[in-house]
């Protein structure tokens, strides 16, 4: 399977005290890097003959895959956790935090203390809903790989020595085989059915232009790699492009404020793909204008930052 990039959910230019430089670097290099690593590891695992490969090779790839998967999940959640506002929980959340932590202040103190405890090191602090207990908890994770965010476990094998030493001594292999023979699959299936009832997190789709046909960065890259005829327009605002030196390889920059001046250059027989910085309004509005003018135009989801996050080729803007 190939994991797809999620366009940045927050509007980075609205954030208070977090610079565009910081957010872009974090999104493009760290989130994008984790996603690229995840796909590379997954591809390697899929091409591996796992029955014949040494267990340590499979094990280390699976460990790296878990770290990369959780890093992408948690980064998506992080960028979806930020917005310009007053920092106060909504009434609904204030009620839930008070119920489960005593008060909003109590929750905040704990969350902040946990984050402070990680300062100078690394890790995540997460507010987590546990469906079984129907309550919220704060959880810290010393690295990306300590939990699969949002996962509901349905089968567990304890590999601490205490779980097998009395019967098997150091023979973990025999313990693992015995465990396999003893799995209660009907009850796993019941748990699987229950897990299917847990609604997935709502998709991180940038909302305003939901009806407008968009195309993912991976698809655009595949079109370019296959040599398909496509006209790619970088429609980031002039103010933006003047302080950024890079542009997607294969794209031309056109001023979104003056569509009428350059629309005549485009061919109606080939598709047009247009994008802005992050996939919010400018690129979408330009796509709408081009569609109204009769072009087969789509906007590229996630914009320039998404292209960089998948490691798409970039050139210097002249
Ligand atoms: Fe990060």
- Ligand 1 centroid to Cα of residue 263, in Å, is 40
Q: Using CA atoms, how far apart are residues 185 and 187, in angstroms rounded to an integer?
A: 5
Distance 100 CA to ligand 1 centre (A): 28
Nearby residues for ligand 1 (ion, Cβ within 5 Å): 30
Q: 78: CA distance to ligand 1 center in Å?
A: 8
Mind listing the pLDDT tens digit for each residue in 31-84? 999 999 999 999 999 999 999 999 999 999 999 999 999 999 989 988 888 888
Residue 210: pLDDT over 90: no
What digits encode the pLDDT tens for the residues 245-287? Answer: 899 999 999 999 999 899 999 999 999 999 999 988 777 789 8
CA separation for the pair 16, 98 (Å, rounded): 26
User: Residue 279: what pLDDT?
Assistant: 87
Distance (Å) from CA 62 to ligand 1 centroid: 21
> Distance, CA 305 to ligand 1 centroid (Å)?
15
Using CA atoms, how far apart are residues 234 and 189, in angstroms rounded to an integer?
Answer: 49
For the chain, what percent of residues have pLDDT higher than 90? Answer: 50
Q: What share of the chain is helix, strand, coil (3-state, %, to 5)?
A: 50, 10, 40
Domains of the chain: 214-316 (3.40.250.10)
pLDDT tens-digit series, residues 141-165 = 887 777 777 888 887 778 778 778 8
What tens digit of pLDDT does each residue of 114-142 get? 888 887 778 888 989 888 888 899 998 88
What's the gap in Å between 75 CA and the centre of ligand 1?
A: 6
CA 124–ligand 1 middle distance (angstroms): 9
Q: How far is the CA of 120 from the centre of ligand 1 (A)?
A: 14
Contact (CB, 8 A) for 10 and 85: no
Cα of 34 vs centre of ligand 1, distance in Å, is: 9
Give me the pLDDT at residue 40, please.
Answer: 98
| Dist. CA 74 → ligand 1 center (Å) | 8
Measure 303 CA to ligand 1 centroid, in angstroms: 20
Q: Is pLDDT at 88 greater than 90 in this prediction?
A: no
Give residue 115 CA to ligand 1 midpoint distance, Å.
14
**Ligand 1 centre and the CA of 195: distance in Å?**
28
pLDDT higher than threshold 80 for residue 216: yes
The answer to which of 163-172, 227-236, 249-258 has the lowest mean pLDDT is: 163-172
CA 132 to ligand 1 center in whole angstroms: 29
Give distance in angstroms: CA of 146 to centre of ligand 1. Answer: 15
DSSP string, 117-181: HHTTS--EEEEEEETTTTEEEEEEESSTTSS-TT---------SGGGTHHHHTT-HHHHHHHHHH
Return mean pLDDT, the chain: 89
């Amino acid at each position: 399977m190939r994991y797809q990039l999620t366009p940045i959910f927050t509007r980075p230019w609205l954030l208070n005290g977090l610079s565009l430089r910081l957010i872009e670097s974090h999104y493009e290099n760290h989130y994008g890097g984790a996603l690229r690593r995840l796909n590379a590891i997954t591809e390697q695992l899929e091409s591996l003959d796992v029955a014949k490969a040494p267990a340590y090779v499979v094990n280390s790839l699976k460990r790296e895959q878990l770290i990369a998967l959780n890093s992408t999940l948690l980064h998506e959640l992080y960028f979806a956790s930020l917005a310009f506002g007053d920092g106060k929980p909504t009434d609904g959340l204030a009620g839930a935090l008070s119920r489960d932590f005593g008060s909003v202040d109590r929750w905040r103190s704990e969350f902040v203390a946990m984050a402070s405890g990680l300062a100078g090191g690394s890790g995540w602090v997460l507010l987590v809903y546990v469906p079984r207990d129907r309550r919220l908890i704060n959880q810290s994770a010393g690295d990306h790989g300590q939990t699969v965010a949002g996962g509901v476990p349905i089968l567990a094998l304890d590999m601490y020595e205490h779980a097998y030493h009395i019967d098997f001594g150091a023979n973990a292999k025999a313990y693992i085989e015995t465990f396999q023979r003893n799995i209660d699959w009907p009850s796993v299936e019941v748990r699987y059915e229950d897990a299917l009832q847990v609604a997935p997190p709502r998709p991180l789709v940038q909302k305003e232009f939901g009806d407008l046909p968009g195309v993912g960065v991976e698809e655009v890259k595949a079109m370019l790699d296959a040599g398909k005829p496509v006209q790619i327009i970088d429609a980031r605002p002039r103010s933006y492009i003047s302080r950024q030196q890079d542009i997607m390889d294969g794209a031309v920059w056109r001023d979104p404020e003056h569509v009428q001046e350059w629309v005549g250059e485009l061919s109606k027989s080939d598709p047009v793909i247009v994008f802005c910085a992050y996939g919010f309004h400018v690129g979408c509005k330009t796509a709408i204008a081009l569609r109204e003018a009769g072009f087969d135009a789509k906007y590229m989801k996630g914009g320039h930052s998404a292209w960089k996050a998948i490691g798409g080729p970039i050139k210097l803007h002249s």
